[in-house]
Structures are given as structure tokens and as C-alpha cells.
Chains A and B, each alone.
Chain A
Amino acid sequence: MKLLIVEDEQKVVDYLRSGLTELGWVVDVAMDGEEGAFMAVEYDFDVIVLDVMLPKLDGFGVLRKLRAQKQTPVIMLTARDRVDDRVHGLRDGADDYLTKPFSFLELVERLRALTRRARTQESTLIAIGDLRVDLISRRAIREGARLDLTAKEFQLLSVLARRHGEILSKTLITELVWDVNFESDTNVVETAIKRLRAKLDGPFSTKLLHTIRGMGYVLEVREDAGPP
């Protein structure tokens, strides 16, 4: 997957490039609007990350030049949380937007959605270590014994299992499990994870559900079981 970042802030470029490269993206960078418009039109990318505030030519200008020629998916980064900015961007042909400050995980999530990259796991029976999650019969089994989960706990587990090995942010979990798509100042996800963990990992020596402090949660088999 080839990706173009049009962004003039060096630090942002650096972390995006290294983070996305590690996730397997092939990353090209343009540091101003004119270069960005040139590259976006001349070369083929699967998706473009476009900042609004750019030297020489702003993000909207780049977008117009691109849309005159191509339909490459574009995700806009805007510093101003203004509705008209968004409308402006989306009407001019942006496919999505993110308001700064944004989380890296969220950007990755949006990029995946835009490129419609197939989920690594679309099977209805998921195996992670000795855990088996059956999405059809809605059962989770570990070491042959069925876990006694509530409906919500199973839903949380299936969300984590479908994307096992992937860090899921609290925001994303809230959206996928509870269909709540706004920020909230609650510890609902932490508590739900705590309860799920008690049933999922509590009785077993191999821990599968891991907390990535400050980022989110991941369901995976780890060889060297570090601190949870």
C-alpha cells in the first residue's frame, strides 16, 4: 500500500513516516502544497494524508488540483475544529478528515477504512493461542471449557478477537461495542476490560488480553509475558 503524506511540520512527518512504515505502508512525503499537488497527480497512491495549512498552496488547493485529474482517497488533517472547514474539505472531494490533535491509532484506523483493506481475520471461528471464539454460536472456549460471558463481554471479546494483534483504542472500542461515537469522560472501557480479563485470563497462566498503557488494548499471544 502506497501512501503520500503532504505535511510541512517535520516532527509530524517523522513520526507518521516511521509509524506507518512499521505497519507496512510505503510512505512518500511532500513538504509543501505545490510539491504535494505535483506528486499526488504524477504518481499513483492508494491514499493521501493531506494537511490543510501548507506553504505555497493550501490543502484545499492541492485537493482541487488532484480532483481535476484523479480520485485517490484523501484524508484531511485540520487544526481548526470548525464545521465549515470540514464541509469545505468534504465538498471539495476529501473522503475523511481528522482534527488535530489526533491519535495515531485513529489515523491508522481511518486509513484502513479508506483503502478498504481486507481484515486479516474474517473467519467466524477465531483461534488465539488456546482461545477459540465462535462468532456464530457466540461462544468462547479456553482449554476446552466454555467461558461464562455476558452478552456485552462477548461482544467486547469478539471485537478484540477479530482484530487480534492490533491495538484498539478506547474510543474505537466504545464505538464498536456500544455504538457510542463521541468522547466521554468515563472509565466504562477500563471496567469492562477488567471484568472480561477476570473471566478470560484470571484462571489461566497464559495471559491474552494486554493493556498498552495510554493507548488501548490488544488481544494476542505473547512469548515473554511482560507486565500487564
Chain B
Amino acid sequence: MSRSISRRLSVIFAAVSLAVFTLVGVGLFAAMEWQLNGELHAALDTRADVARLIISRANSPEKWRFVQDKLRDLSPPGNPAPLYVESPDPQFRFGHPITGTPVGSGTGKYRLIRPPGQAYNMITTSFTVPANGARPDVRVVMSGNCERSQKSLRELGAALAVLIAAASGMVFLLSSAVTRFGLRPLTRLSEEASQLSPVNRRQRLRTDSLPQELHELTTSFNGALERLDRAYERLESFNADVAHELRTPVSILIGQTEVALTRDRSINQLQQTLQSNLEEFERLRIIVNDMLFLSRRDRGERATGLTDVWLAAEISRTLEFLEISFDEAQLRVMLHGDARAPVNTSLFGRALINLLVNAIEHSRPGMIVSVQVTPHDGHVEIAVSNPGAPIDPAVREHIFERFYRLDESRCNSRENHGLGLSIVKAVAEMHNGAVFIASEAGINTFGFSVAAASPPGPNASKAFKNASPKRAGMTGRVLP
């Protein structure tokens, strides 16, 4: 549980409160110290004033004796706050020098010293009383005892430290309870999430009773579940489609081989069976290869062996190959536009042929199929258009999916196994492109894009212009 949120929050809370309490404690302590020092200074000053008054009147050694008595009253023996009067004339002296190690640098006229063998400091102040009569200038050192204030401060410090520690500890304990309480929705959420399973794919996390902070997370999590669910569904139906697609040739193979073997057949008949078998095997081979091709794309494979080519030239090579098909279907084909792009020419041709075959299958004699190459910023679009009935938007959404057929009745088509357009999509994606479909004004357009080498700059457009004659040659190239 080293990464527990509540543990972490408790520690942070405790640390923060420790810092705050310490700050408050230090402030309190400083204020108290200032106050106590003020009192000490005031008491010292009062006594100093009295001593100054007494000493200033003494102008003869006789009077100094009275002064000594009064000073002794001011600091009777045993009084922890002695007084020392220093004078060049031994007759005018009083008390003993006050000695000790200085503590700190002192404030103003006050000095702090630690007398030898003492546990507490003394505060001292000194002043000079001017000469009067026979008495010369004398220097008076007044001292006060800090024992009481120091004791109070120590006690206060100890009490504050204990209080601060106890309070921080309490905050730590309480906050772990508070955060556990605060994080309860999260616990509930994770319990709910742990009950999600592939068996019940429709299940979603409840968002109604959740706090605002978790609402967004839960909504996006539910969104991810939704997408996964759809992908899973597609995969399931895809598996079924594959099985169905393979079942037809396999059942033909089994059936006709069994029939051939039930009687003695002539070599000719057996040959025909084998040839028919071969055709079915070929069909299986194509399906298997296409499936493997699509799975390569699914694993994120990119097109390799790219060559930078003029697409119109590639396209016209493909059109030349399909010339007979267009001719048979009594269609004409026109190619417009040109652009350069790095493509794997085999994959590109394969995608293009699939689009063109699709157009041929859905056109009626006399129509014109048009192929349009349009360079855009960063990619090139290749679109194949033919006149045809409008395609339902719901159909358009799925038309590039595997085994999706525009016309269910064409299910038994012997040539078309329903992977053609999904291969176009795979090829586009392998070239960092995408597929698109449009159906408007009686023209259906299927197309795909491939990434261009670099955004078309001035040089590219110049090169594009240079290619125009060839393009013009292609434009209007109409097959009878």
C-alpha cells in the first residue's frame, strides 16, 4: 500500500499541519520572549535610576558610607541581582566585579552574560555617574537575574513542542479516516469495475451517484468500454464471416470429391473434378492471403519499399491493365490531376484496382468512370467516381469494413469475397492515409489518401505544372 492515496494524503496533511503549528509556536515563543525581556529591562532601569540618584548626591567619603548602606539595601547579600561600582579612588567603590561569559551580542545598552557555574543568564547595564565634590566619576554596573524568565521560556518551549507534536499526530490519524471517507466513491467504483467481465459486455459503470471529479473519469472509461465492445462485436461477426466465406469452397471440395470417388470415373471426369477443386483451392488461397494481409495492417505494419512517383503514371498503368475490363463493361474512364507521393507501387496498384473493379461492377454501359488525383496539404487524395444510385449514409459508414457488402443479394458472387474495400483501407492506413466515400448528385465517389513526402511548396507546384502536358494527355483519355 505504499502508493495508497489516503496514506499519502494523511502524511501530507500531517506535514503541512506540523509546519503551520511550528510556525505558530515559534511566533508565540518569540512574542513571549520579547515581553519577558521588556519586563527585565524595565526592572533593571528602575533600579539603575535609584542607584544613580543615590550615588550622584555622595560628594565625600563620609556620605559614601551611607550610599554603601543604601546600595546594600538595593542589593542585599544573597540578592541574585548584585551591583558593582567602579571608581579610580578605592574609597568610592562598592561590591565585586560582575563576571561571566558573554551570551549573544546584547541589545542596546543591555548585555547578557552567563556567570561561571550558573545555569541561568544575567542581564547587565552600566552607566557613569559624574564626579561630585571629592568623589570622582564612577562607573556603575547593574545586573538583573534572568532565571525566572528563562525558566518560563524553557517551559513554554517544551509545552509548545509537545502540543505541536500531539496535534500533528492527531491530524495524521484523523486525516487518514477523513480521506478514507472522502475516497469511498473511488472504492465503490473500483469494486464495480472489478465486476466487469466479457460475459456481460453491456455492463457499464454507474455515473449517477459519483462526485464531479470521478464523473469525467467514469464517462471516459465507459466510452472506452463502448469502443471495445464495438470492436469485439466486429471481431465476432468478422470471425463468423470468415468461417462462412471458407465454408462454401470447403463444402464444394468435400462434396464434389466424394461424388467423384463413389463410382469409377473416366480420367477425363476425374481431371475435371481436380480442376474444379483447384479453382476452389485458389479461392481459399486468395481469402487466406487477403486475411493475412489485413492482419499485418492490424498489427500496425507500415508500407515499406516506398518510391516517390507521379501518381498519374502509376494510375494509367493500372488503367491499361483494366482496359479490357472497362471495354467489356462498355465503360469509359478519365483521369484528372497528378501529384507526387512516396508509395509502395504494388500496394497502391492493388488498392486502386479494387476501387476500379468496384466502380466497374456498379456502373451501367455507356457511363464514364473518373479517377481524380488531388494534392492536399500533407497528403494526396485518389478518388474514383461513377454515376450510381445514392448510397445510404448508414451504409457508407460501414462500407470499408471487412465482408461488408453493399448488396446482400451479391453474397454468392464467385469473384468477390467482400474484402476488396477493406484492403483499400488497409493500404491507405499503411501509407498514413485514410479512406473516404461521398454520394451526391448521382455520383458515387470512393477514394483513399496517402501521405505526401512533404507539404507542397513552391517547387512542388512548379513540378506540378511541368507535369501538365502529360496530365493533359491523360485527361480525356477515353477508352472506347
A91 CB within 8 Å of chain B: no
Chain A residues, Cβ within 8 Å of B357? 184-186
Could you say which of B285, B318, B346, B353 contacts A101, with CB atoms under 8 Å apart?
Answer: B285
Q: How many Å from the CB of B290 to the closest CB on chain A?
A: 8
Q: Tell me if A186 and B279 are in contact (CB < 8 A).
A: no
Q: How many Å from the CB of A186 to the closest CB on chain B?
A: 6
Chain A residues, Cβ within 8 Å of B268? 226-227
Residue in A82, A180, A212 with the greatest tally of chain B CB atoms within 10 Å: A180
CA distance A215 to B322 in the complex (A): 21
Could you say which of B282, B288, B324, B350 contacts A192, with CB atoms under 8 Å apart?
Answer: B324
Q: How many Å from the CB of B474 to the closest CB on chain A?
A: 18
A120 CB within 8 Å of chain B: no
**10 further A-B pairs in the complex, CB-CB below 8 A; given A178-B321, A214-B276:** A81-B292, A180-B317, A180-B318, A185-B420, A186-B325, A188-B324, A191-B324, A192-B324, A214-B274, A227-B268
A182 CB within 8 Å of chain B: yes
Interface of B is mostly: helix
CA distance A54 to B350 in the complex (A): 33
Chain A residues, Cβ within 8 Å of B69? none
A11 CB within 8 Å of chain B: no
CA distance A174 to B325 in the complex (A): 14
Q: Tell me if A82 and B415 are in contact (CB < 8 A).
A: no
Report the interface size for chain B: residues with CB under 8 A from the other chain: 40
Q: Tell me if B322 and A213 are in contact (CB < 8 A).
A: no
Q: How many Å from the CB of A142 to the closest CB on chain B?
A: 22
* Known pairs A81-B296, A101-B288; A182 contacts B350 (CB<8 A): yes
CA distance A178 to B316 in the complex (A): 11
Contact size range, A = 20 to 34
Interface residues of B (CB under 8 A from A): 268, 272, 274-279, 281-282, 284-286, 288-289, 292-293, 296, 301, 304, 317-318, 320-325, 328, 346-347, 349-350, 353-354, 357, 415-417, 420
Q: How many Å from the CB of A56 to the closest CB on chain B?
A: 27
**Nearest neighbor of B354 in chain A, beta-carbon distance:** A185
CA distance A4 to B95 in the complex (A): 125
Q: Produce 1/0 per residue, A152-196, CB < 8 A to B.
A: 100000000000000000000010001111111111100110010
Q: Tell me if A213 and B296 are in contact (CB < 8 A).
A: no
Could you say which of A101, A195, A213, A227 contacts B324, with CB atoms under 8 Å apart?
Answer: A195
**Nearest neighbor of A212 in chain B, beta-carbon distance:** B275
Q: Tell me if B321 and A188 are in contact (CB < 8 A).
A: yes
Q: Tell me if B276 and A184 are in contact (CB < 8 A).
A: no
Could you say which of A103, A186, A215, A227 contacts B353, with CB atoms under 8 Å apart?
Answer: A186
Q: Tell me if A186 and B350 are in contact (CB < 8 A).
A: no
Q: Tell me if A187 and B320 are in contact (CB < 8 A).
A: no
Q: Produce 1/0 per residue, A24-68, CB < 8 A to B.
A: 000000000000000000000000000000000000000000000
* Known pairs A83-B301, A101-B288; A213 contacts B276 (CB<8 A): yes
**Nearest neighbor of B295 in chain A, beta-carbon distance:** A81
Chain A residues, Cβ within 8 Å of B292? 81
Chain B residues, Cβ within 8 Å of A174? 321
CA distance A82 to B293 in the complex (A): 9
CA distance A187 to B417 in the complex (A): 14
CA distance A184 to B322 in the complex (A): 11
**Nearest neighbor of B292 in chain A, beta-carbon distance:** A81
Q: Tell me if B279 and A81 are in contact (CB < 8 A).
A: no
* Known pairs A81-B293, A82-B296; A187 contacts B325 (CB<8 A): yes
Q: Tell me if A214 and B282 are in contact (CB < 8 A).
A: yes
CA distance A188 to B281 in the complex (A): 20
The 10 closest A-B pairs by CB, nearest first: A214-B278, A213-B275, A182-B346, A81-B292, A178-B321, A214-B279, A191-B324, A214-B275, A184-B353, A182-B350
Q: Tell me if B317 and A185 are in contact (CB < 8 A).
A: no
CA distance A171 to B312 in the complex (A): 24
Q: Tell me if B346 and A181 are in contact (CB < 8 A).
A: yes
Q: Tell me if B286 and A183 are in contact (CB < 8 A).
A: yes
Please name 18 pairs of A and B residues whose Cβ atoms are closer than 8 Å in the assembled complex, sorted by A: A83-B301, A174-B321, A180-B349, A181-B346, A182-B347, A182-B350, A183-B286, A183-B289, A185-B353, A185-B357, A186-B321, A186-B322, A186-B353, A186-B357, A213-B275, A214-B278, A214-B279, A226-B268
Q: Tell me if A215 and B350 are in contact (CB < 8 A).
A: no
Q: Produce 1/0 per residue, A97-114, CB < 8 A to B.
A: 001010100000000000
* Known pairs A185-B354, A186-B353; A180 contacts B325 (CB<8 A): no
CA distance A212 to B304 in the complex (A): 36
